[in-house]
Amino acid sequence: MAKTTKPAAGLAETPLPHYLGHRERVRERFQRVGGDAFTDAELLEILLHAVIPRRDTKELAKSLLARFGTFSGVLSAPPERLNEFSGLGEITISNLKVVQAAAQRYARDRIVPDMPILASWSALIDYCRSQMAFEGIEQFRILFLDKKNRLIADEVQQTGTIDHTPVYPREVIKRSLELSATAVILVHNHPSGDPAPSTADVQMTRAIADIAKPLGITVHDHIIIGKSGHASLRGLKLI
């Protein structure tokens, strides 16, 4: 029979940290209702439970959200900015970046390689948002499609500054020909958060479409991703 060890005479038992009971209650609630019922603060708190096992993470979650705005904003924050918070060391930040990479992979895998990409538009937008919505600099990527509009490749062609990315239409077409793509979807982000297209965005898109058309390459759309949503130049009838 196993023996129960008692504290030595005159010594009180060390009380368990107060947050352990709270963690158990949060975990049980998650099992009952699922993540959709959790606020950003609650979901971030339970994630931090996993990566910081010996600390009360409720106030840390609130502080991170106050700085970065949303759950996704926290995961996308640069490591050097996360490192400004007490309790977020190198290992913890690395673990958060693993979670971010997993979320991005999940969004990418929802775009089924053997299905026309235009048939799963919401999945495409989710993927683009997971990749770009919270980047601190502009990023211009191209989705290259085959004649059945299936994804051949997804490539970041250029990165720029907080409000500008240099894009060279002939380089877009050159890469399309190298991949034998017959259609492309252009995507870039606006770090300001506002996805509204600029005059330069429209002009650049039309320039690419004008060069692509005689070569049998279709520009299906140019999607602009912002923190507050997205804009489609095709949907806005700008191309």
Question: pLDDT of 14-34, one tens digit each?
Answer: 444 555 566 778 778 888 888
Helical ranges in the chain per DSSP H: 19-33, 40-51, 58-68, 71-76, 79-82, 90-109, 121-132, 169-178, 199-212
How would DSSP label each residue in 168-186?
Answer: -HHHHHHHHHHTT-SEEEE
Position 197 pLDDT exceeds 90 = yes
Of 2, 143, 133, give the one whose Cα is nearest residue 72. 133
Position 207 pLDDT exceeds 90 = yes
- Residue 120: pLDDT band (50, 70, 90) is confident
| Residues 54-105: tens digit of each pLDDT | 778 889 999 999 999 889 889 988 899 999 998 888 999 999 999 999 988 8
Neighbours of 214 (CB within 10 A): 7
How many Å apart are CA 134 and CA 124, to the nearest integer? 16
Q: Report helix, strand and coil shares of the chain as percent, to nearest 5.
A: 50, 15, 35
What pTM, to 2 d.p., does this model score? Answer: 0.70
Of 199, 139, 145, 144, give the one whose Cα is nearest residue 163. 139
* Phi, psi dihedrals of residue 223, rounded to the nearest 5°: -100, 130
Asked whether 136 and 159 are in contact (CB, 8 A), the reply is no
Q: How many helices (H) and strands (E) does the chain have?
A: 9, 5
CATH superfamily of 113-232: Cytidine Deaminase, domain 2 (3.40.140.10)
Domain ranges of the chain: 19-106, 113-232
Asked whether 38 and 30 are in contact (CB, 8 A), the reply is yes
Asked whether 223 and 133 are in contact (CB, 8 A), the reply is no
DSSP state of 111: S
What is the dihedral angle through the alpha carbons of 156, 158, 164, 170, rounded to the nearest 10 degrees? -110
Lowest mean pLDDT among 11-15, 39-43, 127-131: 11-15
**Non-local CB neighbours of 66 within 8 Å, separated by 6+ positions:** none
